[in-house]
């Protein structure tokens, strides 16, 4: 699964990298993005502007918004079979912006790793979103990150990884594309373009959100 990530780009760098308008008043750089937080996405609903959606997809038909904490990820192998995700895959897709993600290796002891592009550049993970309306009439837009099997780098750490889109397919992900083409995008990112390193256990708590979290540590 993908349960934590970072996105710390400054406003101007986001504009340059992803070609969207950024409202500085709403955007906050985060070293420890966690479920339940409002985080940076680019959606097919508003592709020209950076939006903040809540992490943990709440389907439009949900009775209880807490279901979102169970739907932070969507498995590519079953996304078309799940009522929570199949509608969003067809018409509500987004780019989840990041510059690294965290995963925990379980042996010989549980150790957090940060995984990123070799050149340190920002990237987009494939996301699905939905709009839920509370009994009080509040609109809540939320998202889930698609996951796939591991590449050769990730398999040494965990058996899942987020779907990272290459630059050529980022914009296509949020355009009107045939379902067959969409499914072709849902594959592991090349291990040769990625690097992983151990980080402090401070990342274990979502209350911690500082530059110290992305500093390499010795094993």
For residue 184, indicate whether it is catalytic. Answer: no
H runs (alpha helix) in 35-110: 86-91
Tell me which of 2, 33, 94, 170 is the catalytic residue: 2
pLDDT score of 100: 98
Residues 124, 152: Cα–Cα separation, whole Å: 20
Q: According to the model, what pLDDT value does residue 114 have?
A: 98
Closest CA to 122 of 29, 184, 207: 29
Residues 42, 44, 165, CA angle at the centre, nearest 5°? 60
Catalytic residue among 33, 94, 103, 170: 103
Q: β-pairing, 93-98 with 139-148?
A: unpaired
pTM: 0.96
Residue 13 in tokens? 């760098």
**CA R_g for the chain:** 17
DSSP letter (8 states) at residue 153: T
Q: Tokens standing for 118?
A: 């070799």
Q: What is the pLDDT of residue 195?
A: 98
According to the model, what pLDDT value does residue 174 have?
96
Name the one residue in this structure whose structure tokens are 């799940």.
82
User: Cβ of 176: how many Cβ atoms within 10 Å?
Assistant: 7
Does the annotation mark 33 as catalytic?
A: no
Q: CA 31 to CA 100: how far, in whole Å? A: 9
Q: CATH number of the domain at 4-214, please? A: 3.90.1680.10
201/197 Cα distance (integer angstroms):
13
Report the pLDDT value the prediction gives residue 84, as an integer from 0 to 100: 85
CA 120 remoteness from chain centre:
17
Parse the chain into domains and list their residue ranges.
4-214
Peptide bond into 108 cis (omega under 30): yes
Contact assessment for residue 186 and residue 169, using Cβ atoms and an 8 Å cutoff? no
Q: Which two tokens stand for residue 95?
A: 């780019």
Contact (CB, 8 A) for 198 and 157: no
pLDDT tens string for the chain (219 positions)?
799 999 999 899 999 999 999 987 778 899 999 999 999 999 999 999 999 999 999 999 999 999 999 999 999 999 999 888 989 999 999 999 999 999 999 988 899 999 999 999 999 999 999 999 998 999 999 999 999 999 999 999 999 999 999 999 999 999 988 888 899 999 999 999 999 999 999 999 999 999 999 999 998
């Amino acid at each position: 699964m993908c349960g934590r990530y970072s996105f710390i780009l400054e406003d101007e760098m986001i504009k340059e990298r992803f070609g969207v308008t950024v409202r500085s008043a709403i955007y906050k750089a985060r070293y420890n993005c966690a479920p339940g937080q409002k985080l940076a996405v680019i959606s097919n609903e508003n592709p020209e502007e950076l939006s903040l959606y809540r992490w943990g997809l709440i389907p439009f038909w949900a009775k209880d918004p807490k279901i979102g904490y169970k739907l932070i990820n969507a498995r590519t192998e079953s996304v078309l079979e799940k009522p929570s995700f199949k509608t969003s895959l067809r018409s509500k897709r987004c780019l989840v912006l990041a510059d690294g993600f965290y995963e925990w290796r379980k042996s010989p002891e549980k150790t957090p790793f940060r995984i990123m592009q070799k050149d340190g550049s920002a990237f987009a993970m494939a996301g699905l979103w939905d709009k839920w309306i509370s009994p009080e009439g509040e609109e809540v837009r939320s998202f889930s990150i698609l996951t796939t099997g591991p590449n050769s780098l990730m398999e040494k750490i965990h058996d899942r990884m987020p779907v990272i889109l290459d630059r050529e397919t980022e914009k296509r992900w949020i355009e009107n594309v045939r379902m067959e083409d969409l499914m072709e995008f849902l594959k592991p990112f090349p291990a040769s373009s990625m690097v992983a390193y151990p980080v402090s256990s401070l990342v274990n708590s979502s209350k911690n959100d500082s530059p110290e979290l992305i500093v390499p540590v010795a094993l």
